[in-house]
Structure 1
Amino acid sequence: MKLVWSPETASKAYIDTVKLCELFQESSVAELISAMAAGWNAKLVVETWSTGSEIATSVGLAVATRHTGGKHICIVPDQESGEEYVKAMSISGQESYEIIVGEPQEAMEGLEGIDFLVVDFEENNFARMIRLSKLGHRGAVLIRKNASSKAASDFRWRSVVEGRLRIVRSVFLPVGKGLDVAHVGASDGSPSRTKGESRWIKHLDRESGEELVIRK
């Protein structure tokens, strides 16, 4: 199976997010991310958030999961951030989400089947978070917010997912402070073989009962 795009669902989430985010006057990024999450029919949406971050994107993700019937989980570093997040979300009337308090890297280890992940570029150990994430069997969409800095311009998705995930496509969008988006294909999480790499295969000869090891 793989992610399948639904323009109708994307459009509905986009419009609903535009209406809600007028409260925050920050809808340019939020409406786009919401449309992507809904359009790809994301069932498990995960984001990171901390005190002082904008809330519009979170509102958009809540809207998207309402349209897809999915689950929206936000990882916050401490209790203070969690309380601020709840307060900010309540202003827009959003209640269908879960909060995990703790280090993002540790929280990732307890989540399985992520098919839409949104992380701020300024998040510490961003690459490790991606490597620890257990993505869905349909593939996933990975997004880095605030990706327009000099350090972000040197970023390469392949350096993060090399040997583990297959990048279907990636693109940088000059929206807001910059969005880096990668669509990765379905994978069992095992390292992929590079071109020309050999492997050993065990083969049992039924007639002689002898076990052979063949290099391919």
Structure 2
Amino acid sequence: MKLVWSPETAAKAYIDTVKSCELFKESSVAELVSAMAAGWDAKLIVETWSQGGVVGTSIGLAIASRHTDGRHVCIVPDEASRTEYAAAMEEAGMSPEVIVGEAEEALADLVGIDFMVVDSQRKDFATVMKVANLGSRGAVLVCKNATSSRSASSFRWRSVVDSGSRRLVRSVFLPVGKGLDIAYVATSGGNSGSGKGNKRWIRHIDRQSGEEYMIRK
């Protein structure tokens, strides 16, 4: 199943996020991810957060979930992070769902993720995305604070989709905030074994846009 883009919903989420995130340093990131999550009609939006972080992106994702009638979940490592995160979000008029614990354990109970945001400065960011239970129509995965190095980006997504049930459809790096590395990952629902050995995926990078594509031959 393929994700379908809704420009109207994306625009509404973007505008609402602009109004709510004017005071945050990462407002541009918040506006973009909010529009993306809403535009893809994400029903399960997941992010990770830790103490000392900015909640601008979280506000954007919470707004997106309202427009899609979806579920927004934030995974934090400890109670101190939960307290700080909840207080900051409540001040912004938001009350998202928060799960305390190791991201890998928390993700075991979150099935059908449509949209996920992880800080690439986390040591385990690739592992977190790799173990995430993505929805049957695939998911949009976003790395914040990403390096602009194309080789680093390629390595990042290879480690995430190194599985027979996933494939990288498209990825792009955007110089927004401290860098956003975004990928659309499709899932095969466990049927990737059919016809094995007959086809292969070829990686292609558009020289003008820098966008990466996976073409099946």
Do they fold alike, i.e. is TM over 0.5?
yes
CA distance in 1, matches of 2:36, 2:103: 23
Aligned 1:66-215 pairs, distance under 5 A = 66-95=66-95, 97-148=96-147, 152=152, 155-162=155-162, 163-189=164-190, 196=197
CA positional deviation for 1:109: 1.3
Name whichever of 165-174 and 120-129 sits farther off. 120-129
- How far the C-alpha of 1:190 sits from its partner, in A, is 6.2
Deviations 1:120-171 (A, max 9, x none): 0022322221221111111100010000277955733123212331211100
Check whether the contact 1:165–1:192 (CA below 8 A) recurs between aligned residues.
no
Tell me if structure 1 keeps the 8 A contact 2:161–2:185: no
Structural mapping, 1:38-53, within 5 Å: 38-53=38-53
Structure 1 CA distance for aligned equivalents of residues 143 and 193 of structure 2: 24
TM-score (norm 1): 0.84
Between the aligned partners of 1:152 and 1:81, the Cα distance in structure 2 is: 29
How many angstroms does 1:47 deviate by? Answer: 0.1
State the number of aligned residues.
197
- Cα offset, 1:108, TM superposition: 1.1
User: Are residues 143 and 194 of structure 1, via their aligned partners in 2, closer, same or farther at CA, if it must alter by over 3 Å?
Assistant: farther
Q: Which stretches in structure 2 are left out of the alignment for 5+ residues?
A: 200-217
The alpha-carbon deviation at position 194 of structure 1 amounts to: 9.0
Is this contact kept in 2: 1:121–1:152, CA < 8 A?
no
Q: Among all aligned residue pairs of Structure 1 and Structure 2, give the percentage whose two residues are the same amino acid.
A: 63
Please state whether the residue corresponding to 2:188 is helix, strand or coil. Answer: coil
